[in-house]
Structure 1
């Protein structure tokens, strides 16, 4: 537009060189105004271009956000539909349960009453069992205490018998190798004296050396009044022939007389309790070795002192267990 006006003015200027100065000046002024207008329009056009670019960017951004919001909306719609479906199912289930609730409630109440009655019965049974258990625990504790006492007494007895064996061995040391032995087994002490130390063949009279050994045993027994002593007489299997001394009928009789002779010597010690002594004859029926040899027969002819601790206290505790 401005170009056309400018061109027209130029042609007019060339063709009308005779135009007045005032008209020319007006045309110049109009041209200047048009030029200013053109520049203003150009600036405005640039501003519009910039605004258009910004608006296009914002439009793209809003389109992206709109698509995102649409996707979220679609997801929410799907979730809503699924939730509504679940809710409808729950309502249906609830309606069905509500319909049967009265009958089910009555049945449950009845069943609960039965269970409560059964529970009370079981609680009573458990209480009774607990009482039994408490009694058993008390009895067990009492028995455990007695058992501990019993074990201590047994240990003390064992220690006492061991000490007794050591005392006898020390007291009878002079008779070692003369047919005398001291052993301990099964909680008892055994003092064995062969007949060669005590008696002549076929006799029940104790010789001088043998009496010394028996007196030493009596001295130890006097210092241990709680020891029971069984004196056993033993013989070989040789038969009694003829008359011996006051006369004996057989080996059993001879072994008993020899045991009684030992008891008589022990009883002479005032400190030895007579009630702790027992004499017994075993004859030939408890041999140590075979009677087929002279050595075996010599070992079988013997007196055995079997020393046992009194077990009255142990028996009482055992009866209480």
Structure 2
């Protein structure tokens, strides 16, 4: 009974409070900055995938050029062999003609000189192609080594994120079946919490059980200081009516406040680098199910904590190709 009275007083206080225009504008500006930062991170991820695709294309082109050079080298070797055979035949003919005619001897000598010139030219061309082939082989070996290093780094990042996902799943095992899921996809780890675990309708105040779940996430993040953390707030498509929650004007506003509330709880952990935390409100515009049913709306009302590894070393290596 006492708890209900206290809760009622708190709700009255929240309903009577009013967020000033300045605070709202500050929040709106922060939201815009966070949205830009989120877009930059997505663009960076797209650039990494694009750079990796460009490297594959360059590598394939080098392999194709290497095959062409090998074919040209084989042709030059065949031409050289044929020329050498012709030279031998002409030398034999020269020896026979020398015995019979000085004029024929002069003609054969001229032909021999021409063939020797051709042979020398072929040998120089073959040497040049061999040198080019050696350079291509060296470049291919260097690129292959860097590709292997890049693949090893990516594999290590994936293994680290899998370990992080397993650690989070174990730490949050007590909340299984209460609207909390942990999954790994696209090189990131996603911790999704439905609003039924975190918030009351129209409120951004985190309940006691939801707070415990967020604190557990914070403990794991404190052990992984190099992880970038994006907290996204999501709502269903129900419009905000009246003065719900003390002045919330839209689903954008509500989702941003809820994301910020989660950031504030995580920031209480001294082991978490505050510069790695970002709050973003997505409103109703990133649903995971249709809002045509109560079940779909319940799934869409959620907080997503998106954990991303630092990709500085991988980006630097891709720029070297």
TM-score normalised by the chain length of structure 2 = 0.65
CA shift, 1:99, in A, is 8.8
The separation in 1 between residues aligned to 2:155 and 2:167, in whole angstroms, is: 18
Q: Within the alignment, does 1:192 sit opposite 2:192 as a pair?
A: yes
CA shift, 1:203, in A, is 1.7
- Structure with greater contact order relative to length (CA < 8 Å, sep ≥ 6): 2
Counterpart secondary structure, 2:189: strand
The separation in 1 between residues aligned to 2:109 and 2:98, in whole angstroms, is: 16
Sort the Cα spacing of 1:250 and 1:118 in 2 relative to 1 into closer, same or farther, 3 A.
Answer: farther
Sort the Cα spacing of 1:125 and 1:204 in 2 relative to 1 into closer, same or farther, 3 A.
Answer: farther
The separation in 1 between residues aligned to 2:299 and 2:248, in whole angstroms, is: 22
Alignment deviations for residues 7-41 of structure 1 (CA, whole Å, 9 cap, x no partner): xxxxxxxxxxxxxxxxxxxxxxxxxxxxxxxxxxx
Q: Which residue of 1 aligns with 2:129?
A: 129
Q: Which residue of 1 aligns with 2:146?
A: 146
Counterpart secondary structure, 2:108: helix
Check the 8 A contact 2:230/2:305 in 1, yes or no. yes
The separation in 2 between residues aligned to 1:148 and 1:304, in whole angstroms, is: 34
Counterpart secondary structure, 1:192: strand
Counterpart secondary structure, 1:178: coil
Sort the Cα spacing of 1:132 and 1:276 in 2 relative to 1 into closer, same or farther, 3 A.
Answer: farther
The alignment's C-alpha RMSD in Å is: 2.2
Q: Which residue of 2 aligns with 1:114?
A: 114
Following superposition of structure 1 onto structure 2, how do residues 67-82 of structure 1 map, counting pairs within 5 Å? Answer: none
Alignment deviations for residues 159-183 of structure 1 (CA, whole Å, 9 cap, x no partner): 2111111110111111111110111
Q: Which of 143-152 and 284-293 deviates more?
A: 143-152
TM-score normalised by the chain length of structure 1 = 0.65
Q: Which residue of 2 aligns with 1:227?
A: 227
Q: Which residue of 2 aligns with 1:243?
A: 243
Highest Rg: 1 or 2? 1
Q: Which residue of 2 aligns with 1:304?
A: 304
Q: Which residue of 2 aligns with 1:80?
A: none
Q: Within the alignment, does 1:173 sit opposite 2:173 as a pair?
A: yes
